[in-house]
Amino acid sequence: MNRKLILVIIFCFFDIFQMISHEKTVLSNVEKYKQFGLVWGLLKYHHSEVSKGNYNWDEIFVENVDKLEGVQTQTNLDSFLLNFVVSVEESKIKTDTNMDNVFTKNFDYKWIEQYSGNKELYIKLKKLENNTSIGSYYTSKSGIPTFENEKGFKAFDYKIKSHRLLELFSFWNVIQYYYVNKYLMDKNWFSQLEYFVDDFSNAKTNLEYELAKTKLIVSLNDSHSYYFAKPVSDSLLKFKPPFEIKIVNDTLVITGILNKLGKKDDLKLGDLIVEVNGMDIKSFQKQKIGAKFSSSNDSYLKKWANRWLMRNTKDSIKVKIKRENYITTKYIHLYKTFTDKDYSSLPFFQIEKEWQLIDDNIGYINLKTISKEDITKAFEAFSNTNGIIIDLRNYPKNISGDDITKYTYPDREEFIKVLSPLGNRPSLASFSKPSISIIIDPFKSGGKNSKYYNKKIVLLVDHTTQSKAEYIGMAIQASPTCITVGENTAGSVMNIAIFKLPDGTEFRFTTMGAFYPDGTGVQRKGLKIDHYVKETTSNFTEDQYILKGIELIKK
């Protein structure tokens, strides 16, 4: 027999086999929910009529999810999805496939290809993929997404599966189409969808439901996305230790203690906890804190670890403690409340004033609460100093970057590039500037100043430097004499969006991407660091950040 004819017969047989399999294989509920949620989300953000808010799209989701129980095979599901798509008014299509000068790393519509066997459904979905004739009911058309029309779902009940799935797909789709930092997640967003569907569809209790939601938010890897529901906190943080801790490298140091309760377990200030429940501190932190708090990087986890790491569901916890040459493993008591008021803490070095001279002729400015007027006074007083240390291990309350850079720049300078989502092209973004740039460019700072401060400026940052603080930090870093000292910052720089989920929960995420003018990204990484501070368990009570700043200025 002719070889080509044999190959044709084989391929035909294979196609027939696939078609039969397509028609007869019974789909899992997870797969049905997943495919329907994808199509529902595509229409929400791409369909000209749905995106105008002309339909109660949440109600329609709940009604149709319940109908999926009667759908068995992929062929049946294709028909169901086609009927769903054509049940809404025909979409006005204005196609734009031009990808020049746009950011495409979040563009992901490959899932539509699975419907290529159903020509009518496939064509309709493909047209929506590139449709730009869309409304702004569910998000704005500006470069900063807003979601004012997400009001929640009336009579939401976590006990109802369709309501839980609505919660999931409302969250999943807004991230799919409007989270410009999606490409930076540890795990591919699409690849996690089946696990999320399984968690939400099978959640039997309020705790299981809240844990599924927590896992969803944690997966964003965004330090702006804090969420810690009461059922979760109650399940993890019932009992607390009679002491405070600080993470120094991979060790917990007892920095403050209620003396009577501490004495009960022979605990002292300065004791080093090197293991908890048989795990090293790094592993324990990852298991307990990293799985419950969304964070752009490990440095930011310290914020929550210092506060929650030693809390427990039981009234005791197993620790390994090191004190000089003495090491012991034991259970220590934890408490719901404390009556002991006899408190002691380690003597930390601290500068009380917002600005002052330190170490002979070095200026120090703390940006946390300083006013614009005091910044002016400080730079006037520091004009002849050997250098200035600017402390940004905080969140400035009263100032902007311009209040600093007008003294530290010789000319107006670009300090940041910003990636913004395109309002009429979901999943795409660009580095274009906002309309206000016609009047003044918000991504530039400083001004012409022949008398700018040209001695060394040392900027201090750590894991508490976040959001507005990081934005101000980027502006200060563009000063020609700036050196940055510290540890990785929180890695969540720009504006936040607030999205109300169907159950009424408001969650936040970073709406834009921040980059240095040279193209280096800041989201997740944090600010560029010139000199990392190495704290040890023997030197951390003295401010190693300030000491390093003094050393660099004196060099």
pLDDT digits (tens, 9 = 90+) for 150-161: 999 999 999 999
pLDDT value at residue 360: 87
Mean confidence (pLDDT) of the chain: 93
The pTM of this model reads 0.92
Residue pair 446/406 in contact by the 8 Å Cβ criterion: yes
E strand residue ranges, 18-129? none
Two tokens at 468? Answer: 């507005």
DSSP H or E run through 457: strand 456-461
What's the pLDDT score for residue 108? 96
> Residue 280 forms beta bridges with which residues?
275
Tell me which amino acid residue 26 is: V
Could you give the CA distance from residue 144 to residue 38 in angstroms, rounded to a whole number? 24
For residue range 512-543, list pLDDT tens digits in order: 999 999 999 999 999 999 999 999 999 999 99
165-190 per-position pLDDT tens digit: 999 999 999 999 999 999 999 999 99
Closest CA to 470 of 490, 486, 444, 456: 490
Provide mean pLDDT across the span 104-124. 97
CATH topology of domain 355-554: 2-enoyl-CoA Hydratase; Chain A, domain 1 (3.90.226)
Tally the C-alpha atoms within 13 A of residue 226's C-alpha that lie toward its C-beta: 9
Let me know: does 509 contact 189? Beta carbons within 8 Å: no
The whole-angstrom separation of Cα 455 and Cα 309 is 42
From-to residues of CATH 3.90.226.10 in the chain: 355-554
Q: Which residue intervals of the chain bear CATH 2.30.42.10? A: 234-345
Which stretch of DSSP H or E encloses residue 420?
strand 417-421
User: Residue 101: CB partners within 8 Å, gap ≥ 6?
Assistant: 430
Task: Write down the pLDDT at residue 270.
Answer: 95
Token pair, residue 85, equals 């798509």
% residues pLDDT > 70 (the chain): 95
Beta pairing, strands 417-421 & 513-515: antiparallel
Is a pLDDT exceeding 70 seen at residue 372? yes
Closest C-alpha among 273, 302, 324 to residue 466: 302
pLDDT at 23 over 50: yes
Cβ atoms within 10 A of the Cβ of 530, count? 13
pLDDT at residue 76 greater than cutoff 90? yes
Report the SS3 class of residue 527: coil
Lowest-pLDDT range of 113-117, 131-135, 276-280, 304-308: 304-308
Predicted local confidence at residue 1, as pLDDT: 55
pLDDT of residue 19: 45
Residue 13 pLDDT greater than 80, yes or no: no
Q: What is the pLDDT of residue 4?
A: 56
Q: Please give the pLDDT value at position 25.
A: 86
- 234-345 has which CATH code? 2.30.42.10
DSSP H or E stretch at residue 357? strand 355-358
